Amino acid sequence: MTQVIETNTAAGEETVRVFFAIWPDAAAKRQLDELAERLEAVCEGRKVRAENIHLTLVFLGEVSVDRLDALCLAANEARGTGLRAFDFAVEEIRYWKHNHIVYAGTSGIPQELLDLVGALQSALSAAGFSFDHQAYVPHITLVRKARCPAPSIELKAGLPELVQPVVWPVREWVLVKSEQASGGLVYIPIGRWPLA
Ligand code: 2AM
């Protein structure tokens, strides 16, 4: 989802592109990667590399390097609200025609995930960071530049069904720096916070 984020930078400052996210464990990563491969075959496009598969919690965009400490302090604040571990069940495959993304999602968002996103958003707002305030729609991008044979904006017609949900135990969240390298996008974790 691409929304315009108000600035987290000032002119002339060195910046990094960052977001908070959760990353699948090895078993879920393998299953999601296999799914991405099947989807790529159906929809063309380019599958996300296995190591890059994730679920974004809050996307901040470009942030001044000088403000990274404040970002970590905000995450500490969020952690202090007693956030709980949970299992995230990936049950659905969907296609967004407007941005040509095939993604995995869920029909029921776990309360613990909503609490985590809410706590992060509150702490980030209190610390003066800008981010997208639209309703949170968890999506795990699996294929980009897809061309699914589909007339509507959000659909699953023509996509393989998930026989069983991919269940992903969520025990921590991460702050990630996104960099463009010669081999494509690289996501580098720069902070980790455990869930209780
Ligand atoms: P995407 O997979 O739909 O592109 C790193 O870019 C992560 O942040 C990805 O999960 C990406 O979602 C998400 N992201 C990128 N730009 C965003 C934006 N403007 N608003 C919300 N999420 C964004």
Burial of 61 (0-12, 13-18, 19+ CB in 10 A): buried
What residue type is 103 in one-letter code? Y
Pocket of ligand 1 (CB under 6 A): 1-3, 5, 19, 56, 59, 101, 132, 141, 178
H/E element, 19: strand 15-22
Q: Are 88 and 146 in contact (CB under 8 A)?
A: no
69 contact partners, CB below 8 Å, separation of at least 6: none
Q: Binning pLDDT at 50, 70 and 90, where does residue 190 land?
A: very high
pLDDT single digits (tens) 22-41: 999 999 999 999 999 999 98
What pLDDT is stored for residue 1 in this prediction? 55
pLDDT per position as a tens digit, 134-183: 999 999 999 999 988 654 444 555 667 787 899 999 999 999 999 999 98
Residue 18, pLDDT > 70, answer yes
Kindly indicate the confidence band of residue 4, based on its pLDDT and cuts at 50, 70 and 90: low
Residue nearest atom 12 of ligand 1, based on CA coordinates:
1
71-119 pLDDT, tens digit each: 999 999 999 999 999 999 999 988 888 899 999 999 899 999 999 999 9
Rounded average pLDDT over 41-52: 94
Which residue's C-alpha comes closest to atom 4 of ligand 1? 1
Residue 19 alpha carbon, nearest atom of ligand 1: 8
**Confidence (pLDDT) at 153:** 41
Phi, psi of 11, rounded to the nearest 5 degrees: -55, 135
* Residue identifier of the C-alpha nearest atom 8 of ligand 1: 59
- Going from the Cα of 18 to the center of ligand 1, the distance in angstroms, rounded, reads 10
Q: Which helix (H) or strand (E) holds 61?
A: strand 55-64
Pairwise pLDDT comparison (5 vs 69), residue with the higher score: 69
Supply the pLDDT for residue 157: 53
Residue of minimum CA distance from atom 16 in ligand 1: 2
> Whose alpha carbon is nearest atom 1 of ligand 1?
1
pLDDT at 42: 85
Question: Strands, E, within 112-183: which ranges?
Answer: 140-144, 154-155, 166-170, 172-181
The C-alpha R_g of the chain, in whole angstroms, comes to: 17
Which overall architecture, per CATH, does domain 15-88+111-136+167-194 show? Alpha-Beta Complex (3.90)
pLDDT for res 43: 87
Q: What is the pLDDT of residue 150?
A: 56
Ligand 1: atom nearest CA of 55 is 10
Asked if pLDDT for residue 47 goes beyond 70, the answer is yes
Q: Specify the ligand 1 atom closest to the Cα of 56.
A: 10
